Amino acid sequence: MSEPSLATDVAAPQLTVEQAIANLRHQDTSLRYYAAWWLGKFRIQDPTAVDALIQALSDEEDRTELGGYPLRRNAARALGKLGDPRAVPELIDCLTCSDFYVREAAAQSLGQLQDRRAITPLMHLLSGGVAANQQVPGRPHLTQPCEAVMESLGQLQATEAIALIQPFTDHPVERVRYAAARAMYQLTGEAFYAEKLIQALAGADLKLRRVALSDLGATGYLPAADAIAQAPVENSFKLLALKGILEYQVGQSSSGELTDATLRVMHLMDSLL
């Protein structure tokens, strides 16, 4: 077991930008896979890198035994980090890819890119409702990447998706309920949904408590700060969740001055060091 890293950067990169871009077409598919991850990790915003990653979204050569597309997954994840809206149409195409993990990566990245063209295609993945989105037998996921989709719809402030997301707050899978509650809070501002996540912090399963903690961090809901600090979860996860609340609260203050809210959250973070 290793500790969760809170680092946003790691040690000096081993590749150059030119090498990484060239490696996306390397004969060795493992080098392509690594290069796509690397370009995202180090946020290489070079337009040539973006073009090459967009091309990699239609790669046919790197396949898993189950028919998955590892390079497409990494390229989709990287494009979310690079912030170039040119990737949006191809990422939208990826939402219909046969590989669940490509769909999931694309859904996440479309939320990060903050482009409202993604809203309708994302909503389409939830269109069958809870009935169409159950656990796939033998696989660790649902039919569609509902959690990532709801997360992104929340980030995109897609209020038109409220009626579609609401039923997922009663989904049989707990983490899906949390993702729905998180999005519902972001879209409606109703404390009821954030309070559901706070209640989840008292659950029996540590992994689920971590998920609820991270969802609360994303809501920025200030009344959750104390519950986060006291939750029976490792301090590293609590610090990350409180960071989310702190940054949301900093964003609320136009002057850039410290407020009672930000001071309160920092006080809690100090106590968790």
Which residues contact other proteins by CB under 8 A?
Answer: 3, 5-11, 232, 234-236, 239-240, 243, 246-247, 250, 258, 262-263, 266, 269-270, 273
Which of 5, 27 has the CB closer to other proteins?
5
Burial 205-226 (b: 16+ CB within 10 A, else e): eeebbbbbbbbbbbbbbbebbe
Residues near 235 by beta carbon (within 8 Å), at least 6 away in sequence: 272, 273
How many other C-beta atoms can be found within 10 angstroms of the C-beta atom of residue 81? 17
Minimum distance from residue 16 beta carbon to other proteins (Å)? 20
- Cα–Cα distances (Å) from 214 to 80, 126, 165, 171, 191, in that order, read 19, 22, 19, 19, 17
Three-class SS state of 135? strand
Which of 174, 234 has the CB closer to other proteins?
234
Which of 214, 262 has the CB closer to other proteins?
262
Tokens of 231: 């939750």
Which of 168, 237 has the CB closer to other proteins?
237
Which of 95, 227 has the CB closer to other proteins?
227
Minimum distance from residue 3 beta carbon to other proteins (Å)? 6
Minimum distance from residue 238 beta carbon to other proteins (Å)? 11
Q: Is residue 141 packed enough to be buried (19+ CB in 10 Å), middle (13-18) or exposed (0-12)? A: middle
Minimum distance from residue 75 beta carbon to other proteins (Å)? 25
Measured between alpha carbons, how far is 186 from 190 in angstroms, rounded to an integer? 8
Minimum distance from residue 240 beta carbon to other proteins (Å)? 8
Minimum distance from residue 1 beta carbon to other proteins (Å)? 9
Measured between alpha carbons, how far is 125 from 133 in angstroms, rounded to an integer? 9
Which of 33, 237 has the CB closer to other proteins?
237
Rg (CA), the chain: 19
Measured between alpha carbons, how far is 225 from 244 in angstroms, rounded to an integer? 10
Minimum distance from residue 224 beta carbon to other proteins (Å)? 16
Tokens of 152: 């992104």
Which of 10, 131 has the CB closer to other proteins?
10
